[in-house]
Structure 1
Amino acid sequence: MHVKSTTNSELILGAKLGAIIQDSAARTRLIENPTEVLAEVGARNDLTILADTADTVHLIIPANVDAARVAANDESYFEELGKAALGNCYYEDLPE
């Protein structure tokens, strides 16, 4: 059985990116100049930045899918995949 664990450095990077995303000025700067901002927080600078808007939500397709769990119709795994695919796509008020 393979278990993915998160390293401390990944948690720190996630916290830094989370702080940027929550601050409107920092988020705008990340979208406009991702290479510079990613370098400042110690992230790889070859990442693609896709910013959701009220009109556009990006669906992330996981790189690896456990075919055995899909074949077994594992509902908890489908929930995990859904959370991974949608990431932080959550709106209090849905766009019209």
Structure 2
Amino acid sequence: MHVQKTFDRDLEIGAKLGAIIQDSGSRTQLIENPTEVLADVGVSADIAIFADTADMVHLVVPAKVDADRIAAGDEAYFEELGKAALGNCYYEDVPE
């Protein structure tokens, strides 16, 4: 049951963040005052906000990786790492 509650909370936070990011005014507030906006969403962590622009895209390097899975060529793990590095943003159909 704990896993499902955590998953539901993550989805709720993700939906709130998605709405903030899609609204230009809310997005600006998030970039300018992340601590306050994130607290309103329910996130209380020491994090940095880096907003991508047309000229700059940020890549997140995971804090830990599973060297055994990398050495084994685990493609599912590579996909997990890619999603983590891109903030879980991915396309179902890759744009051309």
TM range (shorter): 0.7 to 0.9
The count of aligned residue pairs is 89
**Taking CA–CA contacts closer than 8 Å with sequence separation of 6 or more, which of the two structures ends up with the larger relative contact order?**
1
CA distance in 1, matches of 2:75, 2:48: 30
What is the TM-score of this pair, normalised by structure 1?
0.77
Q: What is the CA distance between 1:12 and its match in structure 2?
A: 1.0
Identity of aligned residues (%): 66
CA distance in 1, matches of 2:90, 2:27: 15
CA distance in 1, matches of 2:39, 2:49: 14
Task: Give the match for residue 71 of structure 2.
Answer: 71
Alignment of 1:35-54 (within 5 A): 35-54=35-54
Q: Partner amino acid for 1:18?
A: G
Structure 2, unmatched stretches of 5+, are none
Runs of 4+, deviation exceeding 4 Å? none
Structure 1, unmatched stretches of 5+, are none
Contact persistence 1:57–1:89 (CA under 8 A): no
Contact persistence 1:30–1:37 (CA under 8 A): yes
SS at match of 1:57: coil
CA distance in 1, matches of 2:49, 2:19: 16
Contact persistence 1:34–1:45 (CA under 8 A): no
In proportion to residue count, which structure has more helix? 2
Q: What is the CA distance between 1:89 and its match in structure 2?
A: 7.5
Task: Give the match for residue 12 of structure 2.
Answer: 12
> RMSD between aligned alpha carbons?
2.4
